Amino acid sequence: MKRRHFLQAAGIAAAATAVAKPAIAQPMPELRWRLTSSFPKSLDTIYTAAEIFSKAVAEATDNKFQIQVFAAGEIVPAIAAADAVQNGTVEMCHTSSYYYFGKDPTFAFGTAVPFGLNTRMQNAWMYHGGGMELMNDFYKKFNIIGFPAGNTGAQMGGWFRKEIKDVADLRGLKMRIGGFAGTVIAKVGVVPQQIPGGDIYTALERGTIDAAEWVGPYDDAKLGFQKVAPYYYYPGWWEGGPMIHNFVNIEKWNALSPAYRSLVRTASSLANEWMTSKYDASNPPALKKMLAENVVQFRQFPASVMDASLKAALEVYAEVSARNADFKKIWDSLLAFRNDAYLWWRVAEYSYDDYLIRNRTKT
């Protein structure tokens, strides 16, 4: 009897031990990746977002997963970053998707398209409107997978050596303008030029170009554009919410553990949040400084220019959609999302902001 009770007790104890025994954590593998940026170190917001991402990955893994960031030109030129990922020269890059619209205009939707989404809408469409799934289904054709990793907010319309009073003033004007927007602005007579950020000042100073757009007051002042072009136009209707991406080589991505994949996604989102908030904090004082120094003439694009540009954009969307199924599918998704979003924006966000803009000196 005692022996039977003893054996029963021993069995229960053994079972309890088996249940309570903790799982042995699998060691995190050591990885060393390289990330090439499309931006120079001097642009301490758009470039540093990649450093923020890299640091977050390293800290979360006790430096087991290290991603070394290289500035534009250190490994490949700025607008060859995605090519380096595609062919396996580097594991990943931090870049603007629309730089590669020459491969396929569908790339433009990953960053911004003329009269597209603002920053909040771009995030909403990507994370919750099917945008990321649509874009990654497209990106896989180029051996990459992408994750949002920054946004500059709505941009300025750029620096001009002469005043723009009507559409006629745009004809023949040579302008540095990034990505797909050049296709649209060409329809109103501008001659678009694709020039990396670090080379814009020299081209503008020497008169190689007549105008240039980059981001906004904070970055533009760092690049010194106010010294060589007096007219500063707004808004940048081609970049209402331009998003930056982390592109990862798809074979390298598939080889990552689930934990490391999750970390890359999470750290990319951190970079996305950090860049947007940094620009939102940095642009107002930079704008105030320009106004106080009175060396810049701020101009809003005339309504005639905006209307002609919108007409040109819609023509381009129709033309490209007719011959490119990927483009049409994503444009239809983005357009429907934008139009629905503005129903809400007009009711809440816009009415709130508009009231306070008009009364900001009273509060």
- Which of 18-22, 108-112, 173-177 has the weakest average pLDDT? 18-22
Percent of the chain with pLDDT over 90: 88
> Mind listing the pLDDT tens digit for each residue in 308-350?
999 999 999 999 999 999 999 999 999 999 999 999 999 999 9
**pTM of the full structure:** 0.90
Give CATH 3.40.190.10 domain extents, the chain.
158-240+285-338
> Mind listing the pLDDT tens digit for each residue in 215-251?
999 999 999 999 999 999 999 999 999 999 999 999 9
DSSP 234-299: E--TT-SSPEEEEEEEHHHHHHS-HHHHHHHHHHHHHHHHHHHHHHHHHHHHHHHHHHHHT--EEE
Give CATH 3.40.190.170 domain extents, the chain.
31-152+241-281
Domain 31-152+241-281 -> CATH class: alpha beta
CATH 3.40.190.10 fits 158-240+285-338, yes or no: yes
Average pLDDT over residues 282-308: 95
First-residue to last-residue Cα distance in the chain: 87
